[in-house]
Structure 1
Amino acid sequence: MTIKITKLKALINDIPLPIRLFLGKALLFFVVWKIIYGVFFYDSKVLDHPLTIHVGEATVKLLNIATPMSGFTSKREIKTSTYFGKVSQEEASLIYHKGKEIIYIVDRCNGLELIVLYIGFIVCMPSKFWRKVLYVIIGVIILDITNILRCSGLIFLHENYHGYFEFAHHYLAKASIYTATFIIWMVYSRNINFKNEAIQIR
């Protein structure tokens, strides 16, 4: 056991100090967020409800304006759902097409967790303050639009190519929003160099 701990310490010490500092700050940010969210925001839904409603309403507007289909509406309702075998009731944005329920958007699909993760990465990476602010604002807007496009695309598939819906829902749609996040991260960090002794920002 002592040998394993020693090897682990040696492995950690081999990681350049700037990267260790970044990973430590990122872990701290994530833990603090989870605590704050669990204590103040989880039950109150003060962040989740407005964002979920926004995603539902924006998705409906996009479908009605930018596609040949029309007659979409969204409504906040209590929905019974099963997630990992657990049955629960929660408020969701239900999307209707000409009065028929199509899909529903729950709080865990509103993009909040990914947005916070994205912001945490930007905050923890070394850069100038206003550059961080700029990338936070632009990135949040891009991720929000991407999530709306994701939901719109899923509804389009559900109505026109139902056989592809499940695959797109579980894999393709999620991959699209994670890819968007990764691309913004890459653009943000392109001029940040991690070195053993210091971090140089060009």
Structure 2
Amino acid sequence: MIKLSSLKNDIPLPIRLFLGKALLFFIVWKLIYSVFFYDSEYLDHPLTTHVGEASAFVLNNLGSMSGFSSKREASSYAYEGSSFQNEVSVIYHHDKIILYIANVCNGLELMVLYIGFIVCMPSSFWRKTKYIILGVIILDATNILRCIGLIYLREYFHIYFDFAHHYLFKIMVYSATIALWVIYSRKIHLKNE
């Protein structure tokens, strides 16, 4: 039988420190988000609106597609016998609804996860700041491209929409996050203290 104290000693100190910081960061974020930001949508509302507007803008201005617009609307849905209402960013193509972008799809959680990794790794303040800013911009652009891809599939290849929404584009977004982490981690040298 493996003893917990033996397992703890097998994990190098820098890894234990990183895991401890990451767990603490995750708990603090979840508490702050659920207490201050979830109901107010102070963070979600502008980010979801931005993703919708940017997706429509790119579709209208870069390529042969046009006639897209984005509006913030209330959406109702039922889940396990209860009805819920929340605001979503809705993408229209010539007054036909093409895509709903809910707050859970705005990329906020992924950005916080990315930032948490950077904050918990040892490095200089300026290097962390640079990677956080560039990484958040890249992740936001990746999420907008994901929405554009979903809109394109919904319009022209509807049969592939569900697969792309549930699997393909999630793999794309998470791969971008992991690639950013790998690039950041390359020049970090952990010392066993």
* TM-score after normalising by structure 2: 0.95
2: CA distance, partners of 1:67 / 1:13: 57
Q: Which moved more, 1:112-121 or 1:60-69?
A: 60-69
User: Quick one: percent identity of the two aligned structures?
Assistant: 65
Aligned to 2:182: 186
Structure 2 residue corresponding to 1:74, chosen from 53, 70, 80: 70
What is the number of residues matched between the two proteins? 193
Aligned to 2:114: 118
Structure 2 residue corresponding to 1:20, chosen from 6, 16, 22: 16
| Closer, same or farther: CA 84–138 of 1 in aligned 2, 3 Å | farther
2: CA distance, partners of 1:164 / 1:87: 29
2: CA distance, partners of 1:75 / 1:24: 42
2: CA distance, partners of 1:49 / 1:84: 25
Q: Tell me the alpha carbon deviations over residues 175-194 of structure 1, each in whole angstroms, 9 at most, x when there is no partner.
A: 11100000000000011133
| Closer, same or farther: CA 86–188 of 1 in aligned 2, 3 Å | farther
| Closer, same or farther: CA 151–85 of 1 in aligned 2, 3 Å | farther
Cα offset, 1:9, TM superposition? 2.2
Aligned to 1:92: 88
| Closer, same or farther: CA 83–126 of 1 in aligned 2, 3 Å | farther
Question: Which residues of structure 2 form unaligned runs of 5+?
Answer: none
Cα offset, 1:85, TM superposition? 8.1
2: CA distance, partners of 1:186 / 1:83: 38
Aligned to 1:152: 148
Cα offset, 1:12, TM superposition? 1.9
Query: Displaced runs of 4+ in structure 1, greater than 4 A?
Result: 82-87
| Closer, same or farther: CA 158–83 of 1 in aligned 2, 3 Å | farther
Aligned to 1:54: 50
1: CA distance, partners of 2:183 / 2:77: 38
Q: Tell me the alpha carbon deviations over residues 26-60 of structure 1, each in whole angstroms, 9 at most, x when there is no partner.
A: 00000000000011001110000000000000000
